[in-house]
Structure 1
Amino acid sequence: MSTPGLFIAFEGGEGAGKSTQAAALESALLADGYHAALVREPGSTKLGDYLRSYLVAKKPIVPLAELLLFEASRAQLVTERIRPLLDDGAIVIADRFAGSTVAYQGHGRGMDLEQIRWLNDAATGGLYPDMTILLDIDPLVGLGRVNSRADAADRFEDEEIAFHKAVRQGFHEQEDKSGTWCLVEGNHSIDDVAAAVWARVNPLLPEQNVVKLACAEMG
């Protein structure tokens, strides 16, 4: 029987560095000989990639439809990729997961949080990360990073600052309430943030039952 896998998710607002840090963690784990795999939301399946192309585009969509498309992508990702990888003993790293839906569609769009939690539970089948790393950054700083990129802003990056502040608050509320969320300040160099992420993840690698302890010790 294979060793049970480990599930780590990165969350945070626009420009926080989630994709960069998720990829850096995967590379570090692979270099150390771990079986690691990186997935992103929405995406990492044919259905997820198809839905992503619409969800990030500036095309008309009502909030409920937006929510349901994210949940459909998540259900496919969990069933097709995440659960099989975990069953095979892999360390799965997710660039966003259910916490983003609570923050963006719940706090940002103002949708019913209980409805979102119910849909998250249905889409994930009750599977949630062993650790969620919240990369925290002031929305103005994060959007400044985004605006410096050559590619055009997507649907969410183009929202008003009030939306992004509400999203940040939504992430903070989740971090405050969960013993498996760890906050990492994102307004530092890529290497410094990567070192802080590794300090939080490393205690989980030998034993997966020290998630709360690892978060509590790092503060």
Structure 2
Amino acid sequence: MRSQPPGVFVSFEGGDGAGKTTQLELLATWIEQAGREVVRTREPGGTAIGRTLRDLVLHGEDVDARTEALLYATDRAHHVASLVRPALARGAVVLTDRYVDSSLAYQAGGRELAADDVRRLSMWAVDGLMPDVTILLDLDPAHLPARLTAAPDRLERAGSAFHVRTREAYLGLAAREPERWLVLDAALGRAELAAQVRARVAPRLGRTGT
């Protein structure tokens, strides 16, 4: 009897407009062509409860930074328990648009909450589950306005200094865990980015080519 392949967990991180959704979909299609189950998801909003929380945190009334962090943690705890862990347990490849590192970059970096507090809250919410690979699409915040295709949400309206701090936090996280992170210049062409993403993820899937 053929053994079930282990689940693989990949997160996409980066500023708004960096191309995370596009690269996630390209990777998903490539993996599915090899016959693996792929679960596409996002934070916030990967579940029915998450979609309600997403609307509150991104499009609702302004809330303070601590409340914002708790709302994201609530979404993440439910997301992992109800969707991510079950999918990994059955051997699926889970691709998520944002995960724990988004809170460390946006709430600790951008909102300037204590990084240790945000990390403890986030890790408690997910019971220690972290991605096998994290892809950071690094975008200079100066290019953000040109990349937005809809009315900006609360985070997108937070101002240039906020987005600079967020980017610096992302790069700091990646530098501390280079074995997990792949940092790519979001200004590169879509096909070139996709090839580099595939090359990094392929070994996790037991594949050697791209």
TM range (shorter): over 0.9
Alpha carbons 1:58, 1:154 under 8 Å: kept: no
SS of the residue corresponding to residue 56 of structure 1 reads helix
Q: How does 1:198-213 map to 2 (within 5 A)?
A: 198-206=198-206
Q: How many angstroms apart in 1 are the aligned matches of 2:186 and 2:23?
A: 10
Q: What is residue 176 of structure 1 aligned with on the other side?
A: 175
Read off the aligned partner of 1:106 and give its amino acid letter.
A
Q: How many pairs align?
A: 204
Read off the aligned partner of 2:91 and give its amino acid letter.
G
SS of the residue corresponding to residue 111 of structure 1 reads coil
Q: What is residue 51 of structure 1 aligned with on the other side?
A: 53
Q: Deviations over 1:141-185 (max 9, x none)?
A: 133211xx1x21111111211110100000001000012111111
Q: How many angstroms apart in 1 are the aligned matches of 2:201 and 2:102?
A: 20
Q: Deviations over 1:24-68 (max 9, x none)?
A: 111111122111111100011111010001111152211111000
2:178 is the alignment partner of 1:193: no
- CA-based RMSD of the aligned residues comes to 1.2
SS of the residue corresponding to residue 6 of structure 2 reads coil
Q: How many angstroms apart in 2 are the aligned matches of 1:197 and 1:103?
A: 21
Read off the aligned partner of 1:33 and give its amino acid letter.
G
Q: What is residue 161 of structure 1 aligned with on the other side?
A: 160
Q: Which runs of 5+ in 2 are unaligned?
A: none
Identity between Structure 1 and Structure 2 (%): 37
Q: What is residue 22 of structure 1 aligned with on the other side?
A: 24
Q: What is residue 74 of structure 1 aligned with on the other side?
A: 76
SS of the residue corresponding to residue 136 of structure 2 reads strand
Read off the aligned partner of 1:36 and give its amino acid letter.
V
Read off the aligned partner of 1:158 and give its amino acid letter.
R
The ranges of structure 1 where at least 4 consecutive aligned residues each deviate by more than 3 angstroms after the TM superposition are: none
Q: How many angstroms apart in 2 are the aligned matches of 1:143 and 1:182?
A: 25
SS of the residue corresponding to residue 154 of structure 2 reads coil
Q: What is residue 111 of structure 1 aligned with on the other side?
A: 113
Q: What's the TM-score, normalizing by structure 1?
A: 0.90
Q: How many angstroms apart in 1 are the aligned matches of 2:145 and 2:14?
A: 12
2:134 is the alignment partner of 1:132: yes
SS of the residue corresponding to residue 116 of structure 2 reads helix
Read off the aligned partner of 2:138 and give its amino acid letter.
D
Read off the aligned partner of 2:151 and give its amino acid letter.
A
Q: What's the TM-score, normalizing by structure 2?
A: 0.93
